[in-house]
Amino acid sequence: MKKTSTRLADGRELVYYDLRDDTVRDAVDRRPLERTVTTSEVRRDPLLGDSVAVASHRQGRIYHPPADECPLCPSAGERLSEIPDSSYDVVVFENRFPSLAGDSGRCEVVCFTSDHNASFADLSEEQARLVLDAWTDRTSELSHLPSVGQVFCFENRGAEIGVTLGHPHGQIYAYPFTTPRTALMLRQVAAHKEATGGENLFDAVLEEELAGERVVLEGEHWAAFVPYAAHWPYEVHLYPKRRVPDLLGLDEAARTEFPQVYLELLRRFDRIFGIGEPPTPYIAAWHQAPFGQLEDFEGVVRDDFALHLELFTIRRTSGKLKFLAGSESGMNVFINDVPPERAAQRLREVAS
């Protein structure tokens, strides 16, 4: 992998990740952009103890542009985009309309391929490995920023999810705090560790799932399963079998096998609802240990956390979506329409 860092016309950082070491990236952003001004701030909810990002400047972000005006495609002639060069393998840049900025963190866009009509599932194993390496590098770089407490790499795919740009891409949020979802897991880890005299909760969950009926696919270094208490109609958790706290901890064997397992998982998701159905909308979310202090979680150290990816769709059956209505949105109590065992069986049935 070759990494080349440059600046866009408004001062934002852009990084090319290339498969070939001899690739030269010297294209200049020719757009007449003024320096980006954001109004992002983080407000803490005194009743719930969580945080809300207020970012009013995002109201003006680009919304469903036609394919020939996509800002994530390479620049071509006088058609100038967020990527100055005429081609790329993987590129990462600071979001022009970030939810988090400055002392409130940072938001980046990750473009998986220059092919506007592709999806992550269409990537080769070599390309998918390059994305993994980019995620890992950005996690390392962002973790050193003084305002960053946790790094979250994710992909939203499909208009039903709320995606406003059709080009295959994901995002990275660098939060200035430990997110509520992670804090919940850390509290459970702490309680389990104390109750069992030191047993790791993630290890126990993985061991139990691998011995059960909800395994979707398994490699030498990775395992994917539908969790016992899945929140979403089709939800899969992907774990490295050797517990590590973040992407930086993966060894070469796990990195090599990841594209094989993950690409197969994504391709199965696109076959859940049958041939001729639209591509399955999904969210793919990496859970990594926070880089901030863990004093709020007594007895827990950073290595107690287990890196894992959650992949889920909001589609519950053909032509029908799972909406977060009263119980889910009002009380955060999920109601799942598809039994996890049935979801796992379906994902095994659609193996390629």
Higher-confidence residue of 183 and 164: namely 183
pLDDT at 222 over 70: yes
Residue 59 has pLDDT above 70, yes or no: no
* pLDDT at residue 94, rounded to an integer: 97
* Listed range (55-64, 121-130, 166-175) with the worst mean pLDDT: 55-64
Answer yes or no: are the C-beta atoms of 131 and 247 closer than 8 Å. no
The structure tokens listed for 6 are 């440059």
Specify the pLDDT at position 67. 76
Pick the catalytic residue from 57, 116, 169, 308. Answer: 169
Region 275-301 average pLDDT: 92
pLDDT at 293: 81
pLDDT at 64: 67
Average pLDDT over residues 8-17: 97
Do the beta carbons of residue 53 and residue 40 sit within 8 Å?
Answer: yes
Q: Is the pLDDT of residue 61 over 90?
A: no
pLDDT higher than 70, residue 57: no
Residues found in the chain:
352
- Tell me the backbone φ, ψ of residue 19, rounded to 5 degrees: -75, -35
Residue 73 confidence class, pLDDT cut points 50, 70, 90: very high
169 catalytic per annotation: yes
From first CA to last CA, the distance across the chain in angstroms is 30
Q: What does the pLDDT read at residue 165?
A: 92
Cα–Cα distance, 318 to 257 (Å, whole number): 32
For position 60, what pLDDT does the model report?
A: 58
> Residue range 124-141: average pLDDT?
98
pLDDT for residue 340 is more than 70: yes
Of 55, 246, 52, 39, nearest in space to 142 by CA: 246
pLDDT at 63: 60
Q: Give the per-residue pLDDT at 250.
A: 98
Distance CA 352, CA 347 (A): 10
Of 169, 167, 8, give the one whose Cα is nearest residue 73: 167
Pick the residue with more confidence: 61 or 327? 327
Q: What is the pTM of this model?
A: 0.96
Query: Is the separation of the CB atoms in 44 and 50 below 8 Å?
Result: yes
Work out the angle at residue 133's Cα, subtended by the Cα atoms of residues 189 and 239, and round it to the nearest 5 degrees.
Answer: 30
